[in-house]
Amino acid sequence: DGVVPARGYVARRPALPAWQLQRRRGSSSPLLCAAGPAAQSKTSAARRPRLLLGALVLIYVSNQWCRALPASLVRFGSGGSAHEFMNVALELDEVQYGLLSSYAFTALYSVASLAAGAACDIFARAPVLVAASALWSGAAALQGCASSYPQLLASRAVLGVSQAFCSPAAYPLIGEAFSKDSRGRANAVYSSGLYVGYALASLSALANRRIGWRAMSLLTAAFSLLASATLAAVAAASRRATINRSPPQSPPLPSPLQRRRQQHQPPQPPQPQLPQLPPQPPSPPSLLPPAAAAGAVASLGRVCATRSASLLLLASTVRSFCGYAVGAWSVPFFRQCHPEHASQFALANGVFIAIGGTVSTIAGGWLSDRLVQRRPGRMTAHRGLLVPVAGSLLCIPLWLGALQSRAFAPALGCLLLAYLAGECWFGPFTSALQGALPQDVWGSAQGLVNALQIVSNGSPLLIGALMRRGVPLRSMLTVLIPTSH
């Protein structure tokens, strides 16, 4: 009533309502939501893609180890014991081995890859991959327990069906976890598991002498089961972190204008209740609904209709035709041409594949990313393909030197350089394929890559059939490998 407050007195402001506190402080206020330490959350989020990539590399190592192991379990010609070599124990010839390492695996692998690509675009990819890796672990154990050739064929068929789900699930997981600027390197690191797996398969030839081919197969099965458990643990931890990081959102508080409108709004008359319809009978269960099946076919059509993707699929098929011939017949070739250095070659080949292949694929992914980042433009994703083009041309004379050299040391040197030059195409190829297609068909595209391996996997069987007709193995590899590159 006209009284002036004394000096030093500060009038207290009335407390603000909750809705004004929410607007001033934002949804991240500690009074409204409980959040963990920001630094710890950022560190955990940055580490999660790397953990996922490490688990996927383990999966791919076990994949390729199980797949390439039969090449180290056979020896044709004189000598060899049933304890050490699978073909001696089960009386396999070259054609049977060629069929075992090619279409016994690829026939169902290629057919299942189309369904696997569609399934990985519909269902959660990490659980699908965990189940598939556990299944091919059982297939490797069945190989170790086989007592006849039909049982070996059955184990390879199960291995093909289960491994068809690997790439359609793994590459899209990597594409989602990493940005476009680092996707080439991430794909290359994952692809390095191929060379580590092949190296372990080559080194298995040394362990056969001590533990035998059956125990070696059971060892690969145990490793695959361990890799499956690792991926399951990483996926579960990532899922828990996602749930904890996303608290339930409370409905927003109304503004003052909305509150006044609600107060002056007249009450609405009650709505008449409609009669309830009788419950409909449940539809029969279906793994893949018709709409999903139609969507899978449409996804494959979208991949094939893209010209750049079609050319990439053709190039990978031709390149894989050479790769399967090398994987199935390089070890028997060096054992045949350099029998006095069989042990040294098994050790050197394992080291060369692990080091040369890994360095080449990671360096190829890094170089392709550098080319993509340096000159952005319309053809950015395809510019990284210059790296595998140069590597393929460079490794042609190196493979000729490895195959035609009569001395063991020069042949090994050319083999190492060929791995360093020619195995740089996985990361750039996958990155370019993903850049040419929308994200919702990545799984279908990778499934189509695997399905086309029914063509490229015919090289081991073709070589085995020609060997039965008297064609030298050296001559066939000399023509096939440079032509494919």
Compute the distance between CA of residue 353 and CA of residue 194 in angstroms, rounded to an integer: 9
- The confidence score (pLDDT) of residue 151 equals 94
Q: For residue 193, give the nearest of 215, 219, 171 by alpha carbon.
A: 171
Residue identified by tokens 């963990």 is 36
Compute the distance between CA of residue 320 and CA of residue 21 in angstroms, rounded to an integer: 63
Strands (DSSP E) found in 375-454:
none
Q: Which residues of 441-474 are buried (b: 16+ CB within 10 A; e: fewer)?
A: bbbbbbbbbbbbbbebbbbbbebbebbeeeeebe
pLDDT profile of the chain (485 residues), mean per 10: 48 50 43 45 69 94 93 80 89 86 83 87 90 96 94 94 92 87 85 87 85 94 96 89 58 58 62 54 48 72 91 93 87 86 84 85 87 63 84 94 92 92 86 86 86 84 88 92 93
Q: Phi and psi for 83 in degrees, rounded to 5?
A: -70, -35
Helix pair 166-177, 442-451: axis angle to 10 deg? 150
Do you know the residue count of the chain?
A: 485
Amino acid at 213: W
**Alpha-helical regions (H) of 83-182:** 86-90, 94-100, 103-122, 125-144, 149-163, 166-177
Structure tokens at 269: 């008359």
Compute the distance between CA of residue 432 and CA of residue 184 in angstroms, rounded to an integer: 9
Amino acid at 479: V
Structure tokens at 112: 């299942």
- The confidence score (pLDDT) of residue 25 equals 45
- The confidence score (pLDDT) of residue 310 equals 93
Compute the distance between CA of residue 178 and CA of residue 53 in angstroms, rounded to an integer: 10
- The confidence score (pLDDT) of residue 479 equals 93
Cα–chain center distance at 475: 34
Compute the distance between CA of residue 221 and CA of residue 459 in angstroms, rounded to an integer: 26
Compute the distance between CA of residue 83 and CA of residue 342 in angstroms, rounded to an integer: 18
- The confidence score (pLDDT) of residue 152 equals 93
Q: For residue 56, give the nearest of 187, 239, 146 by alpha carbon.
A: 187
Compute the distance between CA of residue 20 and CA of residue 253 in angstroms, rounded to an integer: 10
Helix pair 307-337, 473-484: axis angle to 10 deg? 160
Backbone CA torsion sign across 474, 479, 483, 484: negative
Amino acid at 187: N
On the 0-12 / 13-18 / 19+ scale of CB atoms within 10 A, 107 is: middle
Query: What contacts 326, CB < 8 A, 6 or more positions away?
Result: 477, 481
- Degrees to nearest 5, angle at CA 394 with 382 and 409: 145
- The confidence score (pLDDT) of residue 365 equals 86
